[in-house]
Amino acid sequence: MRDKVTIGTLRAKKANREPITMLTAYDYPTALIEEKVGLDIILVGDSLAMTVLGYDSTLPATMDIMVEHAAAVRRAAPTAFLVGDMPYMSYQVNHEEAIRNAGRFMAQAGCDAVKLEGGRNVADTVQALVKATIPVMGHIGLTPQSIAALGGFKAQGRDTDAALEIIEDARALHEAGISLLLLEGLPPEVGAIITEELPIPVIGIGAGPDCDGQLLIVHDALGFFDRFTPKFVKKYANMNKILTEALEAYRDDVLRGAFPAPEHCYTMKPGEVERLQARLAEKPRFSPAEETEMRNR
């Protein structure tokens, strides 16, 4: 087993210009594979509300759901750097609630850090969490929890004023003490400026090739859905097609009696089938009178 990935490992990768690999995972079997292939960071994102639970936004994710899934991922991935995503309204109300909720990710799920969305508006919350010894990953640019305010899932920072606002947010979060920063849905130039300026690892999802690392949502990368795919996604498999074909084959096998075949069946011990039949014939279940009555019913 490799050594545990720590914030020190990730900082060293940035210093050596060695790309950092990151994907989301929400469940044990997927995380087992992500650990096996040696991904650096796994994010248990509140995107699970959409990818796993079928909602049309991330907002319905709750702390209980997030902690349960994060704990499952940690059981599968003991060495990855695990980030728990603070769901909507788990950190916005006050610092006490933010610390209590972030603490659940650390204590109950074994996370290495928590992620929260926002820039200067959450800098004081970041400070409170860091003071409570909880490492934080910031998340700016396209922030799905603010989708109503942003007017939809669309790229951010596409003109100078907007880009400067995002750069200011990155600086404020760094000053507040974040250990890592996630940039989502930004032009590559903005991604490069922030990555160059900050001394901490900066990961991009749709923020260009110059970030210190890359993140994708695992369901997008594996092609689970045949509906809309964001521009920044590269599909590494077409799981929708693979799984559809597999399930059709299962359905057809059952319908034509090809499954289960003899190799999928348990056998009785030698001679036991004959013994069983003889015993059943010896002692019929119903008397001849009962059988006639049932037939005439």
Contact assessment for residue 181 and residue 198, using Cβ atoms and an 8 Å cutoff: yes
Q: Nearer to ligand KIV by C-beta: 35 or 220?
A: 220
Contact assessment for residue 39 and residue 21, using Cβ atoms and an 8 Å cutoff: yes
Stretch that binds ligand KIV, among 40-48, 98-106, 194-202, 262-270 (CB under 6 A): 40-48
Q: Nearer to ligand KIV by C-beta: 60 or 250?
A: 60
Does 156 participate in binding ligand KIV (rule CB under 6 A)?
no
Residue from 34, 46, 169, 212 that binds ligand KIV (CB under 6 A)? 46
Stretch that binds ligand KIV, among 4-12, 43-51, 75-83, 273-281 (CB under 6 A): 43-51
Does 220 participate in binding ligand KIV (rule CB under 6 A)?
no
Does 24 participate in binding ligand KIV (rule CB under 6 A)?
yes
Query: Which residue has its beta carbon closest to ligand KIV?
Result: 45
* Whether 274 is catalytic: no
Minimum CB–partner distance for residue 270 and ligand KIV (Å): 56
**26, 37, 129, 166, 217 from 72: Cα distances, Å:** 8, 18, 24, 34, 17
Does 47 participate in binding ligand KIV (rule CB under 6 A)?
yes
Number of chain residues interacting with ligand KIV (CB under 6 A) = 12
Residue from 22, 109, 176, 217 that binds ligand KIV (CB under 6 A)? 217
- DSSP letter string, 222-272: TT--SS---TT---S--HHHHHHHHHHHHHHHHHTT-SS-GGGS--PPTTH
Three-state SS at 144: helix
Q: Give the separation between CA 14 and CA 1, rounded to whole angstroms.
A: 23
Beta strands (DSSP E) in 39-178 are 41-44, 81-85, 113-117, 136-141
Three-state SS at 220: helix
Residue from 205, 207, 211, 222 that binds ligand KIV (CB under 6 A)? 205
Minimum CB–partner distance for residue 50 and ligand KIV (Å): 8
Minimum CB–partner distance for residue 216 and ligand KIV (Å): 9
**Which residues are within 8 A (CB) of 164 and not within 5 positions of it... i.e. 6 or more apart?**
none
Contact assessment for residue 244 and residue 250, using Cβ atoms and an 8 Å cutoff: no
Residue from 34, 35, 40, 85 that binds ligand KIV (CB under 6 A)? 85
- Which is nearest to 150 in space by CA: 158, 141, 159? 141
184, 189, 263, 291: the active-site residue = 184
Rounded-to-10 torsion of CA 166, 167, 173, 174: 160
Minimum CB–partner distance for residue 60 and ligand KIV (Å): 12
Three-state SS at 64: helix
> From residue 161 to residue 200, what is the string marking binding to ligand KIV with x (rule CB under 6 A)?
---------------------x-x----------------
Q: Nearer to ligand KIV by C-beta: 35 or 85?
A: 85
Contact assessment for residue 139 and residue 46, using Cβ atoms and an 8 Å cutoff: no
Active site residues: 184
Where does this chain bind ligand KIV (CB under 6 A)? 24, 43, 45-47, 58, 85, 144, 182, 184, 205, 217
